[in-house]
A and B are shown apart, each in its own frame.
Chain A
Amino acid sequence: MAASYAHLNWEDNATGPVLLRLAGRLDAETASRVWEDALRGLRSRAEQPVRIDTTAVEYCDGAGVALIVDLLRQPRGPQAGVSLGDTPEPVMRMLAPFRSGDFPAGADAALPRSRRLRERLAEGVHDLGHSLYEQIAFLGEAAAALAAALRHPRRVRWRDALDIAQEAGANALPIVILIAFLMGVILAFQSAVAMRQFGAEIFVANLVALSLLRELGPLMTAILLAGRSAAAFAAEIGTMKVNEEISALKTMGLDPVRFLVVTRVLAAVVVMPLLTVVANMVGLVGGGLVMLTFDVPLVTYFHQVTSAVSPSDLFGGLFKAAVFGLLVAGVGCLRGLETRSGAAAVGRSTTRAVVSAIILIVVADGVFAVVYFHLGI
């Protein structure tokens, strides 16, 4: 019966080279058990020549051959080389395609993951700069494509834009309605509990209306759009990039930005204010229902809301929503176009799209707050 183990034996010789006898079965499982011992034995005989004898090897596969090559390639002194002694024909046949010089010791550890921190840091900074450059370039390209689309509306693929608007807008209605309603309810309830102590429940309507129309309506809708559509845009375009569909577009003379980005950006810019209007209305309804439980009739609530908000609050919020739509769709498409190769790259692009979109939304909202304050809106 064939051996199911490997073993090694050192025979020190006063006159000739030390003999390392390998025996038994040398495969991936058994070789791993003697590998470290063999290397350790070799290191402890650093000043002596060593000859490897494999005549007692019964079976040897790729891992066994790798063990022999690993022993042969170890750096040694000039008088302390490692050589191969008597070798059975099957082992010799397996060894034939390789020379130990082809695989210098130490090269195996040099995997890219083990690069030094400094190199990785430098690469990170370079990538950041490159990414910033690409974003600015993309912004310019997208703005030019949008301007061209507005100048020549017949060149826009309206059918595609409509389909995207349906997916990003109409199909997002259920989640937008749910979140907006709960937002109105929570906002009204939390503020009403506090305001009741001062007999000021009626002003909850002011708080809910102003918060929703100016801030929370556009913000929450934009974040939902980022989660749904920025991710979808990045995944769609990223997969197209991986499948070389983007290259195909280029070779057909079609500009990917005009073909893919303009339609998505236009769709998002149109549906965002519409979704925000729905979110505002549903949020106000949620707030109104809470006010009913505090004995404030709906008529009174409605009257208070209309007296508290001005058209500038509504339209200021809707303008913000349109800008958020632009940012969300733009960054989603950009991350998609930046996708490199492989399935993992699409996943990374999707994640980056959502994260970038949310960051851009919050930053833009901060800018709007300052600008609106100075404009008196």
Chain B
Amino acid sequence: MDSPASDSLNGATPQQGGPDTVIRVEDLTLGFDDVPLLEHLNFDVQRGEVFVILGGSGCGKSTLLKHMIGLRVPMSGRILIDGQDITTVQGEARQTLLRKIGVAFQSGALFGSMSLLENICLPLEASTALAPDARALVARMKLRLVGLSGYEHHLPAELSGGMQKRAAIARAMALDPMVLFLDEPSAGLDPVTAADLDQLILRLSGTLGMTFVVVSHELASVDAIADRVIMLDRESRGIIGEGAPDWLRQHAGHPAVRRFFNREPSEAA
């Protein structure tokens, strides 16, 4: 990390680019048009961990996520997923790489005209040779994993916000990706539903050993699920803290990080 105020996990930086590194972000600069939003980002995501991208509104969390899943091209730098740069990979290799990631968008982004079962069957239909019955069974099992058994034939509009988010996670898991990206999974949910969703993430992480990259600004969720956190800052255009939530709360060098974790008002207030 280039930011002098940044912190590492308990003072020890995780092994850079080691065998357990699933995602490696190298000197990434991103923005809109020619205006950089975040500059010179460097961090790794390890296999099996729940990695949270944290920060205040407008700091570029979701934009960073969009770059990590290949929806946007950065101004410079590389994003290696399982050793391949998603910012440049093309053709068949890109399709193979995209199969290794699953994304649950903030709004759920379920197809409104399709039932939940059809929503989950869609990526299976597009990317596998499974027979229709086998696809339906896999989809039912994914719905079971997220606690939505019995809702197979419901349309997304017939579900609550929390259920839609669960269904979006089930669809993102359809192809058993190596990494699951979740954009603001708890946003707009009541505390109980948000806590249920946190438990789901922990259960999936524990049971399936799946790697999660979660964008969030919900402190309670971050405390519950995060193995490791990076905190972005709009002013610094970079990472101002990295480590386990508890460690950052106690030892973060950057005052904005401590304020965030201790829910203290900003200096301006």
* A interface residues (Cβ-Cβ under 8 A, vs B): 27-29, 31-33, 35-36, 61-63, 65-67, 69-70, 93-94, 96-98, 102-103, 107-109, 111-112, 340-345
Contacts and interface: CB of A to CB of B under 8 A. Distances in A.
A36 B112 CA distance: 32
B176 interface: yes
Given A29-B128, A35-B130, A63-B128, A103 B140 contact: yes
B131 A36 contact: yes
A110 to B, nearest CB: 9
B149 interface: yes
Contacts of B208: 93-94
A109 B134 contact: no
B41 interface: no
Contacts of A111: 115, 117-118, 136, 153
A341 B141 contact: no
B166 to A, nearest CB: 14
B75 interface: no
Interface in B148-194: 149, 153, 155-157, 173-176
A62 B129 contact: no
B205 to A, nearest CB: 12
A32 B134 contact: yes
Main SS at interface, chain B: helix
Contacts of A70: 134, 137
Given A62-B141, A63-B134, A67-B134, 12 more contacts: A27-B176, A28-B128, A28-B138, A28-B175, A63-B128, A94-B207, A94-B208, A97-B145, A108-B132, A111-B115, A111-B118, A111-B153
14 contacts: A27-B176, A28-B124, A31-B134, A32-B134, A35-B130, A35-B131, A62-B138, A63-B176, A98-B144, A102-B149, A103-B141, A109-B136, A341-B157, A342-B113
A340 B127 CA distance: 30
B142 interface: yes
Contacts of A96: 207
B150 to A, nearest CB: 10
Interface of B: 111-113, 115, 117-118, 124, 127-134, 136-138, 140-142, 144-145, 149, 153, 155-157, 173-176, 207-208
Query: Which 8 A-B pairs rank lowest in CB-CB distance, beginning with the nearest?
Result: A342-B112, A108-B136, A341-B157, A61-B176, A344-B113, A28-B128, A32-B129, A66-B138
A75 to B, nearest CB: 14
Contact of A35 (B113, B134, B156): B134
Contact of B112 (A93, A97, A102, A344): A344
A32 B135 CA distance: 10
A93 B207 contact: yes
A222 B237 CA distance: 57
Contacts of B134: 31-32, 35, 63, 66-67, 70
Main SS at interface, chain A: helix
Contact of A69 (B115, B133, B141, B176): B141
Contact of B129 (A33, A61, A108): A33
Nearest to B111: A342
A65 B134 CA distance: 11
Contacts of B142: 62
B144 A102 contact: yes
Contacts of A35: 130-131, 134
B131 A32 contact: yes
A238 B216 CA distance: 33
A94 B207 CA distance: 7
Contact of B127 (A28, A66, A67, A343): A28
Contact of A112 (B115, B129, B173): B115
